[in-house]
Amino acid sequence: MKRCKVCRKKPRLERRVNNEGVLFCSDDCYDDYDHSPNDMDHPYIDDYEAIRFVYIDWMENYEDDLYKEWLYGTPRKEELMEQLDEFLGEFMDYYGLEGRDGVFSAEIYHYVMELEQLKVVMKNWKADEKVLNKRRKAMYEERKRRKEEEEIWG
Ligand SMILES: [Zn+2]
């Protein structure tokens, strides 16, 4: 597996590249590298940064969000899927390109495919009873703690 150009760590969820395909583990390492010419002028940079950000956000939060329907009644899974669909709808050009127009288009296509896969994962997702009970308990504890705080502090 390729490593970050700056710190040599293995890039994970927050990996990013510059328009020459140089690999970084994070925005910090990307910013520390002084040889990413013209990235900010690249026609795909805004879409690349947008989809990378959204991808990281969904991967970190989708399961918490799915449990919210069970814990709080909202948002519903269908609403989350619609949100994701709507977002991906703005990337239709990149579906057609299939990543063939340079490094950023390849990255964007990669994220599009990952998010399409996430849609399947979410569709088939079911709450795990044990996890759900744990989260319910944590929710009640939190509510109790807040109520007690309110009673003390007014
Ligand atoms: Zn790094």
For the segment 6-57, what is each residue's pLDDT rounded down to a tens digit?
999 999 999 999 999 999 999 999 999 988 878 999 999 999 999 999 999 9
Instruction: Based on the fold, state whether residues 17 and 92 are members of the same structural domain.
Output: no
pLDDT for 87 equals: 97
Buried (b) or exposed (e) across 108-129, using 16+ Cβ within 10 A? bbebbeebeebeeebeeeeeee
140 pLDDT higher than 90: yes
Average pLDDT over residues 80-109: 97
Question: Which residue segment(s) compose the domain that 149 sits in?
Answer: 42-153
Q: Which residues contact 125 (CB under 8 A, 6 or more apart)?
A: 63, 66, 77
Instruction: Based on the fold, state whether residues 58 and 128 are members of the same structural domain.
Output: yes
pLDDT for 37 equals: 78
- Distance between alpha carbon 133 and the CA centroid of its chain, in Å? 26
Instruction: Based on the fold, state whether residues 47 and 34 are members of the same structural domain.
Output: no
By the 10 Å C-beta count (0-12 exposed, 13-18 middle, 19+ buried), 146 is classed as exposed
Distance 11 CA to ligand 1 centre (A): 7
Instruction: Based on the fold, state whether residues 46 and 87 are members of the same structural domain.
Output: yes
pLDDT for 1 equals: 73
pLDDT for 38 equals: 84
Instruction: Based on the fold, state whether residues 46 and 97 are members of the same structural domain.
Output: yes
Distance 54 CA to ligand 1 centre (A): 20
Instruction: Based on the fold, state whether residues 66 and 19 are members of the same structural domain.
Output: no
Per the structure, the count of domains in the chain is 2
153 pLDDT higher than 90: no
Distance 30 CA to ligand 1 centre (A): 7
Instruction: Based on the fold, state whether residues 64 and 9 are members of the same structural domain.
Output: no
Instruction: Based on the fold, state whether residues 71 and 16 are members of the same structural domain.
Output: no
The Cα 111–Cα 115 span in angstroms is: 6
Q: Quick one: which H or E segment has residue 138?
A: helix 129-153
Instruction: Based on the fold, state whether residues 70 and 129 are members of the same structural domain.
Output: yes
Locate 29 and state its tokens.
């390492």
Cα distances (angstroms) measured from residue 10 to each of 25, 31, 42, 45, 75: 7, 17, 26, 23, 35
Average pLDDT over residues 61-85: 96
pTM exceeding the 0.85 threshold for the entire prediction: yes
Distance 94 CA to ligand 1 centre (A): 27
**Residue 20: count of CB within 10 angstroms of its CB:** 12
Locate 27 and state its tokens.
């925005």
Distance 151 CA to ligand 1 centre (A): 47
State the maximum Cα–Cα separation within the chain, in Å, rounded to a whole number: 62
